[in-house]
Amino acid sequence: MPSGRKGKVAAGTNLLEAARELGVELESICGGRQTCGKCQVIIEQGSFSKHGIVSQPEHISAPTPLEQEYDREHSLQGRRLACAAEILDDLLVTVPEESQAHKQVIAKAATERVIEVDPAVKQAYVEVQPAKLGDPRGDWERLAQALEEQWQLTALEIDPQTLTTLQTALREGDFAVTVTIWQGKEVLRVQPGYQEGVYGLAVDVGSTTVVAHLCDLRTGEVLATQSAMNPQVRFGEDLMSRISYINSEPQGLTRMNRQIIQTLNQLAEKAAERAGISPGDITDMVVVGNTVMHHILLGIDPAQLGVAPFALATFSEVDMKARDLGLNLNPACRVHTLPLIAGHVGADNVGVMLAESPREHAGISLIVDVGTNAEIILGDQEQVLVASSPTGPAFEGAQITHGQRAAPGAIERVRIDPQTLEPSVKIIGMEDWIETGSPPPGMKATGICGSGIIEAVAELFLAGIINSRGHFLPETAERSARLEIDGTAAAYTLVDAQNSASGSTITITQNDIRAIQLAKAALYAGTKLLMDHRGIQHVDRVILAGAFGTFIDPFHAMVLGLIPDCDLEQVIAVGNAAGDGARLALLNMAQRRKAVQLARSTTYVETPLEKTFQDEFVAALNIPHSDHTFPHLAGLIPEPSLDKPRRRKKSLRSKITADR
């Protein structure tokens, strides 16, 4: 139990061997030496007619002296060590979860799911024949023989750097060592005696933020998560400006590469410190990132990604040594980068697919990861399509008059009362909403971040201050002093001078609205392209990935026409799905293979090649859209034909307010 496997074995067989014969994988590090305590099992007692078994205490051998010693030191609480207990007659045995070889972890995602822990690097304890005169073999050959005899590992190699530590480790451990092995192929580490602990790092190198999860590769547990600003930001906020910097500066690539490596070293060091281990204990690493981050990290000039046809150096997964990147982890630590899909669709998107696995969900999933480019994944159990759409940096607060990055002081949420046309905002770093016309409650606003500008434009539309074409309505100016119209220039004062950190008003201008319209139209047009390719009219769920998605209000996103019509309950923000994908690939080898399958089976739709893209883009400029209807917003937004404000259904409005 709980696998339900059943079978006959010779009397006297120990439970560990019996489990292996029946295909039940039990945990074991010491290799059956009754010392590691990983293979504990529960012997059920009584008559189990359902199984046709009478399981009695005398059907199993008495505890061995070694087992008793383990019990005294660690308390077995009635359990038995499977490697010590011999089967004498019928038994019903339960394998507790912690003794199962392939532990399972729950993957956080739009839908929680369980994955097995089956990492690339694993430990094995071995006892090696000591060196002796007359045996000319080297220590490595004796270790390899022990690994073959005790762990059935053949054709092993040893990293040349690890070879330099072998002789000392063997002698310190009195010829008993714990070996860390990569994919059953290469010895990465040799530690004296019996040691527990094998660790890996899952890293998402974002354009703005770098996140590292330090994982225990035996339990799947995340021991520490550290994040830092990508230091390349100083060379350019968006990808194109970083490529330009590299094109123009002779040392640009080296500089950016060194900085990101340095950041990864710092993250690893901090994470290790928090987990109480050393960076040298880290023997595996999985990295995701967009194509430009991926190339710069590997020391590849991203110049080709800046010009058509956007040629990647490689779109395959890359396996290498961490030391070749200058990473200060274990000297033999491995690095695996997830595969890429196309010039603008990177390993981060493959990570997102791995985490959200559209192929494993009924119905059509739309996954949107918004950055400077928006990557759009549309998939179901049959097919997955992906496109990249040039939204520009408006969604990140760039090219917006008072735009800024999401940081303390930035306006992240906006409401405009449709009656009074008075705004209230929520500022990052403050709990309460602020009525921006009232005296300051302590913290002043510094600008508007991406989610703030999206809500602001949607609220301006909902309040009837702008029409579906995004134009300020002159008649509204008569109702509120916040709206000033001066020819083509027009602006809505979101924050009064008294509530602004700079002492000047924070406004939303006609140009800001236009910038958001261009960005959202690009995103919608990309989505529409994929829907047309797939021949579908609606999606069943929308997943907003990335930090941006976390702060976006699904209702406002849909009001703006950023995402297609969908049940609002099925619009889900999943946070750093790319990083979650990296973690899955770190914990489970099958996930790495799946990543390759996903990357290679995904249909990439090149937006610039699509003739209809421009038409779709133009049609998507209106709020929410010129042609498409949004049944799930029925009654909640002004009719497209009307430019007059209309009150939303009270019920949903109050629901959303209550959600705050």
Burial 140-175 (b: 16+ CB within 10 A, else e): bebbbebbeebbebeebebbeebbebbeebbeebeb
Could you tell me which stretch among 22-30, 153-161, 500-508, 652-660 binds a copy of itself (CB under 8 A)? 153-161
* Distance (Å, whole) CA 182 – CA 392: 41
Q: Is 192 in contact with 173 (CB distance < 8 Å)? A: yes
Q: Count H helices and E strands in the chain, helices first.
A: 17, 30
Q: Three-class SS string for 309-332?
A: CCCCCCCCCEEEEHHHHCCCCCCC
* Distance (Å, whole) CA 479 – CA 495: 18
Could you tell me which stretch among 56-64, 72-80, 148-156, 320-328 binds a copy of itself (CB under 8 A)? 320-328
In the list 88, 163, 223, 477, the residue contacting a copy of itself (rule: CB under 8 A) is: 163
CA-based radius of gyration for the chain = 30
Identity of the residue, 309 or 441, whose beta carbon is nearer to a copy of itself in the bound complex: 309
Tokens 């340095």 identify what position? 262
* Distance (Å, whole) CA 22 – CA 13: 12
Could you tell me which stretch among 262-270, 302-310, 416-424, 567-575 binds a copy of itself (CB under 8 A)? 302-310
What is the H or E stretch that residue 632 is in?
none
* Distance (Å, whole) CA 547 – CA 577: 9
The least distance separating a copy of itself from the CB of residue 612, rounded to whole angstroms, comes to 16
Q: Is 352 in contact with 109 (CB distance < 8 Å)? A: no
* Distance (Å, whole) CA 385 – CA 603: 5
Binding flag, residue 158, a copy of itself (CB under 8 A): yes
In the list 45, 316, 498, 614, the residue contacting a copy of itself (rule: CB under 8 A) is: 316
Please list every residue from 572 through 631 that binds a copy of itself, using CB under 8 A.
604, 606, 608-609
Binding flag, residue 168, a copy of itself (CB under 8 A): yes
Q: What is the dihedral of CA 508, 513, 519, 525, to 10 degrees?
A: 150
String marking each residue 325-364 x if it binds a copy of itself according to CB under 8 A? ---------------xxxx-x-------------------
Identity of the residue, 163 or 477, whose beta carbon is nearer to a copy of itself in the bound complex: 163
The least distance separating a copy of itself from the CB of residue 599, rounded to whole angstroms, comes to 10
Identity of the residue, 461 or 613, whose beta carbon is nearer to a copy of itself in the bound complex: 613
Binding flag, residue 314, a copy of itself (CB under 8 A): yes
Return the closest-CA partner of residue 307 out of 362, 379, 247: 247
How far, in Å, are 103, 397, 590 from residue 116 at the CA level? Answer: 5, 40, 9
Could you tell me which stretch among 34-42, 47-55, 158-166, 401-409 binds a copy of itself (CB under 8 A)? 158-166
Q: What is the dihedral of CA 604, 607, 613, 619, to 10 degrees?
A: 90
The two tokens of residue 605 are 């739709």
The least distance separating a copy of itself from the CB of residue 255, rounded to whole angstroms, comes to 15
Q: Cα–Cα–Cα angle for 298, 550, 230, nearest 5°?
A: 30
Identity of the residue, 71 or 606, whose beta carbon is nearer to a copy of itself in the bound complex: 606
* Distance (Å, whole) CA 621 – CA 641: 15
The least distance separating a copy of itself from the CB of residue 321, rounded to whole angstroms, comes to 8
Please list every residue from 46 through 85 that binds a copy of itself, using CB under 8 A.
none
Could you tell me which stretch among 24-32, 130-138, 481-489, 635-643 binds a copy of itself (CB under 8 A)? 130-138
Size of the residue set binding a copy of itself (CB under 8 A): 47
Could you tell me which stretch among 3-11, 69-77, 126-134, 652-660 binds a copy of itself (CB under 8 A)? 126-134
Identity of the residue, 141 or 615, whose beta carbon is nearer to a copy of itself in the bound complex: 141
Sign of the C-alpha dihedral computed for residues 224, 225, 228 and 230 taken in this order:
positive
Sign of the C-alpha dihedral computed for residues 604, 608, 611 and 616 taken in this order:
positive
How far, in Å, are 95, 231, 267, 283 from residue 273 at the CA level? Answer: 34, 22, 10, 16
How far, in Å, are 279, 321, 394, 472, 505 from residue 120 at the CA level? Answer: 18, 14, 40, 58, 55
* Distance (Å, whole) CA 299 – CA 141: 36
Could you tell me which stretch among 220-228, 275-283, 311-319, 566-574 binds a copy of itself (CB under 8 A)? 311-319
Binding flag, residue 474, a copy of itself (CB under 8 A): no
Could you tell me which stretch among 20-28, 270-278, 292-300, 463-471 binds a copy of itself (CB under 8 A)? 292-300
Identity of the residue, 63 or 299, whose beta carbon is nearer to a copy of itself in the bound complex: 299
Binding flag, residue 260, a copy of itself (CB under 8 A): no
In the list 140, 151, 551, 630, the residue contacting a copy of itself (rule: CB under 8 A) is: 140
Please list every residue from 479 through 508 that binds a copy of itself, using CB under 8 A.
none
* Distance (Å, whole) CA 489 – CA 496: 19
In angstroms, how far is the first alpha carbon of the chain from the final one? 47
The least distance separating a copy of itself from the CB of residue 327, rounded to whole angstroms, comes to 13
Tokens 């073999």 identify what position? 137
Identity of the residue, 307 or 618, whose beta carbon is nearer to a copy of itself in the bound complex: 307
The least distance separating a copy of itself from the CB of residue 307, rounded to whole angstroms, comes to 10
The least distance separating a copy of itself from the CB of residue 39, rounded to whole angstroms, comes to 32
Identity of the residue, 422 or 606, whose beta carbon is nearer to a copy of itself in the bound complex: 606
What is the H or E stretch that residue 476 is in?
helix 474-477
Identity of the residue, 3 or 168, whose beta carbon is nearer to a copy of itself in the bound complex: 168
Could you tell me which stretch among 100-108, 164-172, 347-355, 579-587 binds a copy of itself (CB under 8 A)? 164-172
Please enumerate in sequence order all residues whose Cβ is within 8 A of that of 647, keeping only pairs 6 or more positions apart, or say none. 418
The least distance separating a copy of itself from the CB of residue 132, rounded to whole angstroms, comes to 5
Collapsing DSSP to helix, strand or coil, 466 comes out as strand
In the list 12, 138, 326, 408, the residue contacting a copy of itself (rule: CB under 8 A) is: 138
Identity of the residue, 135 or 149, whose beta carbon is nearer to a copy of itself in the bound complex: 135
Amino acid at 162: T
Q: Where along the sequence are the contacts to a copy of itself (CB under 8 A)? A: 131-141, 158, 160-161, 163-164, 166-168, 298-301, 303-304, 308-316, 318, 320, 323-324, 340-343, 345, 604, 606, 608-609
